[in-house]
């Protein structure tokens, strides 16, 4: 067991220590983000101290903060973070002081057979990136241990992260754009490249045109897909989908999305990516899939969600259903490639950043995400 997962009643108090940083803390399940000061331990082992310059607001953080899923409180959420390396632990070899880095929530050991095969999202020992039971906690607040969301806790001026959760990026990439590479963009692009493996001439349907969906659309266009159909309820998001490369758009609030996608693709899509993550869209996605094609479940679903495909139909039509976590990514392989994709003009990261807010405006930033004209809000430091 690591200190980040200690139950509240078993916590030990620790003396406050330097350095300190401002952070947005959640003190109880369902509570708001409260600005406060945290203390950070010195980096040990492969840990890296990062001065955060930008952190993306992702719905996953809000969902986890408001659900009683066993996360110890107080906690610092935020898993899309970009910044500058301020210090490194004695065993860190992959980054140096001054490097610009992106944090990624894919916790992986880097040495198991799956990691060596480029399948970091299936690592056998993801806890290797966290401190052990005999180590002091990375973060404290008034001497009390503070939990870091997925080992990052990016809603803070400084973070202490294992180097395996960091990727060095170009200094030319703006921090607000770089932060999105750690989750939303990586998930969308990775789903197209690593799971669906879209080829020139393919027909692709993407259900949901937020950050993940728009990134998937751009990746499908870059891969040479002939027809790319975006499906969403909001006309504003469908307009954005066209800008990112969609050849067809479907307003699912006004028309049958299955019939519309099948008509636009001549009988079904070779790859359907459901980035919404509810039973209805998953079932619709399967009905949109062409014989020989695949349905890729990208959006995080409720644990009780299920679909009921007719198995003979899957066999006869040779359709696939595949779960895709974090784009099936190897962060150190894929994030630099996505950054190059952005530099080439194939992916407009700037268009994904709709607004920037301060550390004390995170609750307001999440409210802004309800506006269909807003793609992603970023905390700027």
**Tens-level pLDDT at each residue, the chain (381 residues):** 344 433 333 333 444 446 899 999 999 998 999 999 999 999 999 999 999 999 999 998 988 888 888 889 999 999 999 999 999 999 999 999 999 999 999 999 999 999 999 999 999 999 999 998 889 999 999 989 999 999 999 999 999 999 999 999 999 999 999 999 999 999 999 999 999 999 999 999 999 999 999 999 999 999 999 999 999 999 999 999 999 999 999 999 999 999 999 999 999 999 999 999 999 999 999 999 999 999 999 998 788 888 889 999 999 999 999 999 999 999 999 999 999 999 999 999 999 999 999 999 999 999 999 999 999 999 999
- Record the tokens describing residue 50, joined without a space: 């990062």
Give the pairing of strands 166-169 and 100-103. antiparallel
Cβ atoms of 78 and 149 within 8 Å: the answer is: yes
- Roughly how many angstroms between the first and final C-alpha of the chain, as a whole number? 33
> What pLDDT does residue 304 have?
85
CA 134 to CA 138: how far, in whole Å? Answer: 12
Fold topology of 3-169+348-380 = Quinone Oxidoreductase; Chain A, domain 1 (3.90.180)
pTM recorded for the entire structure: 0.92
Domain coordinates in residue numbering, the chain: 3-169+348-380, 187-325
3-169+348-380 and 187-325 agree in CATH topology: no
CATH architecture of the domain with residue range 187-325: 3-Layer(aba) Sandwich (3.40)
Give the pairing of strands 248-251 and 269-274. unpaired
- Record the tokens describing residue 98, joined without a space: 């001054």
> What pLDDT does residue 36 have?
96
DSSP reduced 3-state for 356: strand
């Amino acid at each position: 067991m690591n200190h980040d997962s200690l139950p509240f009643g078993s916590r030990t108090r620790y003396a406050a220590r330097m350095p300190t940083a401002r952070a947005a803390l959640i003190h109880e399940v369902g509570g708001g983000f409260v600005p406060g000061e945290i203390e950070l331990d010195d980096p040990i082992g492969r840990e890296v101290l990062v001065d955060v310059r930008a952190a993306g607001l992702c719905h996953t953080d809000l969902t986890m903060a408001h659900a009683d899923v066993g996360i110890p409180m107080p906690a610092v959420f935020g898993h899309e973070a970009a910044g500058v390396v301020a210090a490194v632990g004695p065993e860190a070899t992959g980054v140096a002081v001054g490097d610009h880095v992106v944090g990624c929530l894919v916790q992986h050991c880097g040495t198991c057979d799956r990691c060596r095969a480029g399948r970091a999202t299936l690592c056998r020992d993801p806890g290797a990136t966290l401190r052990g039971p005999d180590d002091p906690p990375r973060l404290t607040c008034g001497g009390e241990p503070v939990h870091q969301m997925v080992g990052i806790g990016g809603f803070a001026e400084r973070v202490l992260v294992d180097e395996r959760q960091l990727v060095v990026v170009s200094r030319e990439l703006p921090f607000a754009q770089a932060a999105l590479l750690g989750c939303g963009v990586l998930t969308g692009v990775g789903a197209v490249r690593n799971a669906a493996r879209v080829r020139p001439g393919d027909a692709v349907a993407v259900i949901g045109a937020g950050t993940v969906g728009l990134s998937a659309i751009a990746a499908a266009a870059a891969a040479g897909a002939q027809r790319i159909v975006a499906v969403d309820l909001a006309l504003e998001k469908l307009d954005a989908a066209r800008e990112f490369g969609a050849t067809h758009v479907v307003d699912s609030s006004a028309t049958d999305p299955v019939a519309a996608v099948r008509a636009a693709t001549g009988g079904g899509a070779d790859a359907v990516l459901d980035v919404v993550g509810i039973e209805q869209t998953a079932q619709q996605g399967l009905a949109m899939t062409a014989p020989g094609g695949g349905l890729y479940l990208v959006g995080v679903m409720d644990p009780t969600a299920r679909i009921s495909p007719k198995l003979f139909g899957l066999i006869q039509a040779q359709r696939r259903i595949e779960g895709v976590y974090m784009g099936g990514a190897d962060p150190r392989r894929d994030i630099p490639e996505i950054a190059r994709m952005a530099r080439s003009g194939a992916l407009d990261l700037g268009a994904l950043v709709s607004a920037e807010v301060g550390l004390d405006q995170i609750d307001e930033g999440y409210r802004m995400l309800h506006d269909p004209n807003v793609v992603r809000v970023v905390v700027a430091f």
